[in-house]
Structure 1
Amino acid sequence: MTNLTDKMIDAALPHVAFDGWSQATFEAAMEDSGAVPAAAKAAFPRGAVDLALAFHKRGDAQMVAALKTRDLYDMRFRDRVAHAVRLRLELAEPHKEAVRRGTTLFALPLYAADGAKAVWGTCDAIWDTLGDMSEDYNWYTKRSILSAVYGSTVLFWLGDESEDHAATWGFLDRRIDNVMQFEKVKGATLNNPMFAKVFAGPLWALGKVKAPSKLSRSDLPGQWRDPSAS
């Protein structure tokens, strides 16, 4: 995150509760942060929509940083995943209304793809930080399943009024348990010789699926860099 991005997010948050992630919020954030309008509009071409996405990505970065300081060695892997999701929401708790407004924004058909990409990014960050080494189709299935778990948990959390969000953590544990049951069934099915024989073609095709490269491309045009960033 650049200095400009952080300043804009921090300046926007007090306004989001009243005006949502709107143009009014974006303009107020520019004024309150003292950002140069041209720089702010270059950093956030779609205004408040891109600002809301930056807020979400900052939350992901905070989660990753916090996870790296935790000793998760003695945890079962399913508990590590649940812990990561819970940590992501606990870090967002001070700005729960901003998350609610963001959920409303990305429920709109125009921005639904952005919302789905943001959730996918969160789940990708969780799996990467927990050490997922998948390089085949499992890379996609793990993130797809966790995206469904994470998305449903966020919606439950937004409406949860139980003490310390105890109901949310119970809901999360049940969803993780459902996933683990699915994985057991999937493993047994794939190891069944009859299944492997009948679906030899599709299984061969799945074996050709590879995870996307994580290497960054610095040779691509159209990238903007904040001149105030160190």
Structure 2
Amino acid sequence: MTQTVDFADLTLDELRVALAPDIAASAIFDGWNETALVAAAEMAGCDVDVAKLAFPGSKPMDMVEAWITSVDQAMEAEWPQERLATLKIRERIRSLVAFRLEAVAHIDEAVRRALAVMAQPQNARRSLRLGWRSADIMWRLAGDTATDYNHYTKRAILAGIYSATLAVFVNDDSDGKADTHAFLERRIDGVMKFEKVKAQFLGKDRELPSLTRFLGRLRYPAR
């Protein structure tokens, strides 16, 4: 995907995100490495030395994080709160996750390689934080304003659903990724049923402090 951007006007943070989709496209063939970075810079018309400055050391996880950020931003642009507000909550979440799947529909191998990078032990905490961040963005776009126990459970569950759906996605050879979308629908159905049962069990205003503190550590991992 060729960028029509004046890279000289971008900050390094903005440049990383701007280059990320092209890096992902190159990662299909080259993996998340300097070769993909150089190919992406050339494809986008960005000075290679500047691109390398944006990704010092050409670290794979830095590239993957920039790519996830680019998907987050594209999702926010495509599905602002006012557009989602016309849908039921179940459809809001389904639409947001479906958008993310469609955004990577033709770069399965890049997704597979990105998941492998994220699964490396040294990247585990950072990957958890990124998954939480994307889930948080989705819930906020969906209109969620919870600040109690529900804030944490919703994000933890959605991050788990999205991660599991991606694992199905990269191995799905069905037409139009039909099996992946069917899997997503089943997971969302399960969550909606769980939310109803949880509401009945806990009551509207009840919290579980110990679990809330534990989930809080997922949101803000210790350094």
| TM norm structure 1 | 0.74
For 2:70, the aligned partner's letter is R
* Structural mapping, 1:1-230, within 5 Å: 2=11, 4-6=15-17, 8-29=19-40, 33-37=46-50, 40-41=52-53, 43-44=55-56, 47-68=59-80, 71-191=83-203, 203=208
CA distance in 1, matches of 2:157, 2:168: 17
When structure 1 is superposed on structure 2, of 18-27 and 93-102 the one drifting more is 18-27
Q: Which amino acid aligns with 1:34?
A: D
Q: Detail structure 1 runs of 4+ shifted over 3 Å in the superposition.
A: 26-33, 39-46, 69-74, 202-212
**% identical equivalent positions:** 33
Of the two structures, which has the highest relative contact order with CA contacts closer than 8 Å and spacing of 6 or more?
1
User: Any gaps of 5 or more consecutive residues in structure 1?
Assistant: 197-201, 213-230
**Distance across 2 between alignment mates of 1:64 and 1:136:** 24
**TM-fit CA distance, 1:75:** 2.6
CA displacement at 1:101 relative to structure 2: 1.2
Q: RMSD over aligned Cα, in angstroms?
A: 3.1
Q: How many residues align?
A: 203
Query: Which residue of 1 is the match for residue 3 of structure 2?
Result: none
Determine if contact 1:4/1:35 at 8 Å carries over to the other structure: no
- For residues 69-102 of structure 1, the C-alpha deviation after alignment (integer angstroms, 9 at most, x for no partner) is 8744443211211111111111222333222210
Which stretch shows the higher mean deviation, 176-185 or 68-77? Answer: 68-77
* Distance in 2 of aligned mates of 1:207 and 1:121: 17
Q: Which amino acid aligns with 1:179?
A: V
Contact 1:8–1:35 under 8 Å retained in 2:
no
Which structure: larger Rg? 1
More helix by share: 2
